[in-house]
Structure 1
């Protein structure tokens, strides 16, 4: 049995913050899948630090990415963290809560488009496949408005799980109250332990769609 795993996203998919000799969640999850499914797992990563959801969506229009999506059994997506940073920055200059609402709606709309685009790419000859979308943990636990916005966004994001193949990886709950333990020295990206928690969160969801 062979599993093809494609990871899309931002700095979290890149593994930023994990440390020089440590991997992010992608390679960790690959090893977990190999053990759980007793299968060879190949990985393709299309991610870059700093990408916002609109730019991640754009990746799905690139032919070499579409080729990997077409044959992928497992797809993971991280995103909206950078949209959040822009919102926090804008809010500090202009304390208007509609800034967060607009950013939340924009992220959610882009994720919906990603799910639709993946289905479109795979519809001709789609074997069973799974999509795992990460919600957002809160790197600003001391900013009340940030937690309010993130929990609202995550609640909205959970609606994506009504689509076939899609489940939400709830890292918000996994990280809550343990941010100092799971975040790297920059206070934003996960450290090695945090990335292990992300991989474990994926494992707990299971492989129902693709386990043969």
Structure 2
């Protein structure tokens, strides 16, 4: 039997920052699945650098994406990083802290809609499947308000795990204090070591 893994998201799902000949977390996690479950795993990736959570949600309206979601045993989602960057840039010019709360609520609402849409696509009596949603690491450790906002967002994101099938992949804790080790030269995206760490976080959540 071939397992089906579908990855949705932004530049983190595409593996941006990992280097020309280095895999992102998707291919690394696929290898871990194959090793742990002793089964070949087919991967479908629907992601693009720059997508915000509303655009990622929009991917679920495409019939081909729905077909892959319907068949998927494992689904991973990255998102809200671009919303974060826009919020930080806006805050630096306006000093308006409500920017963060609005962005946080918008991201969380879209994640809830993604999970609900996946459940709808799966139907009333689906085969077992797992959804793994990444929380946010902080690429701006020098900006205090950014860490405050990310911590608050991640805390709220945990409520998604009350839904069946869903677990939160906590990369915030893994990256905290290791930003120089895990981030690429652009200071925003993970490097090869960072993507390996992300894959290991997924692996640690198991496959049930």
TM-score range relative to shorter protein: over 0.9
Please name the residue that 1:174 is paired with.
174
Structure 1 residues 94-113: aligned runs within 5 Å: 94-113=94-113
Structure 1 residues 187-198: aligned runs within 5 Å: 187-198=187-198
Q: Would you say how many aligned residue pairs link Structure 1 and Structure 2?
A: 208
Deviation at 1:187, TM superposition (A): 0.3
1:52-94 CA-partner distances (Å, limit 9, x unpaired): 0000000000101000000000000000000001100110111
Q: Which runs of 5+ in 1 are unaligned?
A: none
Structure 1 residues 123-142: aligned runs within 5 Å: 123-142=123-142
Deviation at 1:130, TM superposition (A): 0.1
TM-score by length of structure 1 reads 0.97
Please name the residue that 1:77 is paired with.
77
Q: Quick one: distance in 2 between partners of 1:71 and 1:14? A: 21
Q: Secondary structure of the residue that 1:33 maps to in structure 2?
A: helix
Q: Does 1:148 align with 2:152?
A: no
Q: Does 1:162 align with 2:162?
A: yes
Deviation at 1:2, TM superposition (A): 1.9
Deviation at 1:126, TM superposition (A): 1.3
Output the aligned Cα RMSD: 0.6
Deviation at 1:96, TM superposition (A): 1.1
Deviation at 1:125, TM superposition (A): 4.8
Q: Quick one: distance in 2 between partners of 1:152 and 1:97? A: 13
Please name the residue that 1:3 is paired with.
3
Deviation at 1:123, TM superposition (A): 1.2
Q: Secondary structure of the residue that 2:45 maps to in structure 1?
A: strand
Deviation at 1:151, TM superposition (A): 0.3
